[in-house]
Amino acid sequence: MTPRQQRVLILGGGYAGLYTALGLQRHRGDTPIEIVVVDRNAYMTYQPLLPEVAGGHVAPSDVTVSLRRTLRRSRIIRGSVAAVDIETKTAEITQVDGSSIHLDYDQVVFALGAVTRVFPTPGLHDNAVGFKTVEEAVYTHNRVLEQVTLAAASSDADARAKALTFVVVGGGYTGVEALSELSDLSKLAVRANPSLSMSDLRWVLIEALDRVAPEVGPELSKWTLEQLRERGVDVRLKTTINSAVDGNIELSTGETLPADTIIWTAGVQPNPALDLTNAPRGPKKHVVANTRLQVVRDDGSVVEGAWAVGDNAQIPDLTAAKQPAYYPPNAQNALRQGVLLAKNILASIRDEEPAEYRHASLGTVAGYGVGRGAALLNLGPLRGVKLRNLPAWLAHRSYHGAVIPTVRRKIRVVAGWAVEALTGRETVSLAATQHPRHIFEESFDALPK
């Protein structure tokens, strides 16, 4: 007998949510399901390439994947979670126009991802920018170029120094990648301004731990620190920020750094939209799941019809030597969890046993600018291989060029790299596009009074 149609509600259209929906579309066969994806954006962002967007290597649109175009057999709702009750299997969604939708569901997927982790540091809200979205990557690209332009036009030595001081807070590999790309971009811009010199630029990396880029392992982490300092980056380890009021950064060491640009990459946390649900949560506010990606209560019992994947999920890693262990929040896991979850949901609907998620990390690749990078490989005969500079950078680009979703995006990203290799990078700031009506409004100022 054919089972009744079930509604699968996927909360979040990021990596995990996208691949869950794609898998359901591809493998549902004769299983009658309705797929509903909820996300406030109309696109999924491939976050690993955001540093290359900031650096000007990749067009912003090329790291975004249209949900409607990719998930043609799914219903896409642009909105955010207002409430989810896992016991009654109901959800309230607030659409982008402010209206509300009530949805009953049979299966719900928590794939809301993570957001930038912040602290109530004075001045941080008003003077810093994150690095988690394509919009932030574009902003930092334009910001760096604009600051160089402003410094070149300034005759005030203090104002010039503040404009050309860029502070990145958070020394994980994302922070190191962002700083590397943006510092290279700033050097290109300075070379185009005869009134400026390289010695005017100051890049500062602030990290609370005693190392940078720990994701690439101790040996490459130490090497990355040495490379940054050789490139002129002022790296402050075991240091935090006490205040950022008016762009004057007060460090835990007692020193003050005047800087007009603060880029915050100090970690992530599960999406706070989970607070609007009654899903079981772990000590770090992730949705608690088992190895089959099923949401579980504190007593270990399975919440029927509830699943969790990606950065908002606490999923046991049974492949780790030391237990208990949980999978880290990265695209490598989100993709594979989404693929498996689609199969598990269909298996559950068909009264079959869902499979366990087991994945040994393939390693970590990090790009530190053109021809530079670090990579720790854990793939087959390459297990434990450490790469530096050009080989690591090629591994970084090869991997991300291969795994970015959709063939269309793969072609556009690789083609963009090829064009840049032939023509070079652009260093024009398009900061004015952030407020496009200003020019139009100025036309009214010229009208006769």
Q: What does the pLDDT look like over 19-47, one tens digit per residue?
A: 999 999 998 888 899 999 999 999 999 99
Q: Which pLDDT belongs to residue 2? A: 59
Structural contact between residues 259 and 169, judged by C-beta atoms closer than 8 angstroms: no
Write down the mean pLDDT value for the chain.
95
Structure tokens at 417: 């790299």
pLDDT tens column, 211-223: 999 999 999 999 9
Which two structure tokens, joined as six digits, stand for 307?
């699943």
Residue 433 has a pLDDT of: 81
Reported as half-sphere exposure (CB side, CA atoms, 13 A), residue 141 has a value of: 26
Dist. CA 334–CA 310, nearest whole Å: 4
The model's pTM is: 0.94
Amino acid identity of residue 37, one-letter, is V
4 with 32: CB under 8 angstroms? yes
**Residue 29: what pLDDT?**
81
Closest residue by Cα to residue 258 from 238, 243, 240: 243
To 10 degrees, the CA torsion angle through 388, 392, 393, 395? 170
pLDDT in tens, 414-428: 999 999 999 988 888
Distances from the Cα of 192 to the Cα of 185, 188, 189, 233, 427, angstroms: 11, 7, 5, 21, 9
CA angle 25, 31, 34 (to 5 degrees): 55
pLDDT in tens, 300-319: 999 999 999 999 999 999 98
Is residue 145 within 8 Å of 189, Cβ to Cβ? yes
Q: How many CA atoms lie within 13 A of 195 on its CB side?
A: 11
Residue 329 φ then ψ, to 5°: -80, 100
pLDDT for the residue numbered 449: 78
Please report where in the chains the tokens 């390289």 appear, as a residue: 198
- Structure confidence at residue 3 (pLDDT): 65
Q: How far apart are CA 54 and CA 129, in angstroms?
A: 13
Please name the amino acid found at residue 423.
Answer: T
User: What are the residue ranges in the chain where pLDDT is below 70?
Assistant: 1-3
